[in-house]
């Protein structure tokens, strides 16, 4: 018999509540999904593949409470943004982002209207860490700006980048936030210890930030790249300042992540730091 949906209630042109033959009540979100629909109507499953489905009861309730607060123009822009994200990533996004990003964009617009701005302190690091997601987030901000005839600050791209990365990688937003914050702090320490201002547009900086990102991700997955004592000895003799700084950074990472790191990480980090120091 296959899957099918029966319309229970149309909330607006882009949202309806439906009954599914396997997982009971769902919220369907998509461009024009509710237009002209009648209660009891059976929906073509091929149409539903093109929309976003909320199955989780808590997410459904959050979404239903949020929906009446949204202006039609803003909500249409948010649906357009989700369509854009899915088209660019070729991914089915997890349910959480529909509620979390809708909520975030709604309050961003509200804050803008009241003249309140929230700074995102790790914008440069986030752009370097997640360039693809940042590019998509920039277009999402443009979609919202055009719809509401406003100009959200650059910082919003950072926040939205994290939401997109969280949805694509099925990662907790809190973990991604923690990583971005930690990397931002490590960069500040590097600049202070080496007495330089790092060029945030340089290739060496991008390589360093991405190395730190992969180090944190490896720790999260308990992956280690082992030890390299011979190379460690050579680098310690050749580049003592960067080698000692590498270990200082590693100790901070270990204390924050509560996980041990092997000698090989110090080798790679020293090489990255030496490149940065040479350009300083």
pLDDT in tens, 134-151: 999 999 999 999 999 999
Contact 265, 228 (CB under 8 A): no
Domains 1-55 and 58-171 share a fold: no
For residues 213-235, average pLDDT:
72
Residue located via tokens 């629909």: 37
pTM attached to this predicted model: 0.70
Q: Which pLDDT tens digit goes with each residue over 17-75? A: 998 877 678 888 888 888 899 999 998 777 776 777 888 888 888 888 888 888 888 88
Does residue 185 have a pLDDT over 80? Answer: yes
Domain ranges of the chain: 1-55, 58-171, 173-279
Strand pairing report for 42-43 and 52-54: unpaired
78 φ, ψ (degrees, to nearest 5)? -65, -40
Domain 58-171 fold is PTS-regulatory domain, PRD (1.10.1790)
* pLDDT computed for residue 132 by the predictor: 93
- Please tell me which residue, 163 or 231, carries the higher pLDDT value: 163
CA distances, 155 to each of 108, 113, 123, 138, 250 (Å):
10, 16, 7, 10, 29
Model pLDDT, residue 250 = 93
User: For domain 1-55, which CATH number applies: 3.30.460.10, 2.30.24.10, 3.30.450.40, 3.40.50.300?
Assistant: 2.30.24.10
Radius of gyration of the chain (CA): 23
Tell me the range of 60-69, 171-180, 185-194 where mean pLDDT is highest. 185-194
- Quote the pLDDT of residue 2: 64
Under the banding of pLDDT at 50, 70 and 90, the label for residue 90 is confident
pLDDT band at residue 181 using 50, 70 and 90 as cut-offs:
confident
CATH classification (class only), 173-279:
mainly alpha
**How does pLDDT run across 1-22, given as a tens digit for each residue?**
567 789 999 988 888 899 887 7
């Amino acid at each position: 018999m296959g899957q099918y949906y029966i319309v229970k209630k149309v909330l607006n042109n882009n949202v309806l509540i439906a009954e599914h033959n396997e997982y009971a009540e769902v919220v369907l979100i998509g461009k024009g999904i509710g237009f002209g629909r009648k209660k009891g109507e059976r929906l073509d499953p091929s149409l539903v593949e093109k929309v976003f489905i909320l199955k989780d009861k808590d997410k459904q309730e959050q979404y239903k409470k949020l929906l009446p607060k949204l202006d039609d123009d803003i909500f249409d822009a948010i649906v357009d943004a989700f369509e854009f994200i899915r088209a660019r990533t070729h991914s089915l996004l997890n349910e959480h982002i529909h509620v979390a990003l809708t909520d975030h964009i709604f309050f961003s617009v509200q804050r803008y209207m009241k003249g309140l701005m929230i700074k995102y302190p790790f914008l440069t690091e986030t752009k370097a860490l997640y360039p693809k997601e940042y590019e998509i987030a920039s277009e999402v901000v443009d979609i919202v700006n055009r719809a509401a005839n406003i100009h959200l600050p650059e910082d919003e791209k950072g926040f939205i980048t994290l939401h997109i990365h969280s949805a694509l990688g099925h990662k907790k937003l809190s973990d991604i936030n923690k990583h971005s914050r930690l990397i931002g702090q490590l960069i500040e320490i590097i600049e202070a210890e080496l007495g330089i201002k790092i060029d945030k547009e340089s290739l060496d900086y991008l390589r360093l930030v991405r190395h730190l990102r992969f180090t944190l991700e490896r720790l999260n997955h308990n992956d280690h790249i082992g030890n390299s004592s011979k190379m460690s000895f050579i680098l310690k003799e050749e580049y003592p300042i960067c080698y000692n700084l590498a270990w200082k950074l590693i100790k901070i990472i270990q204390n924050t992540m509560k996980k041990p790191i092997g000698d090989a990480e110090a080798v790679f980090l020293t090489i990255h730091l030496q490149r940065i120091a040479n350009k300083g």
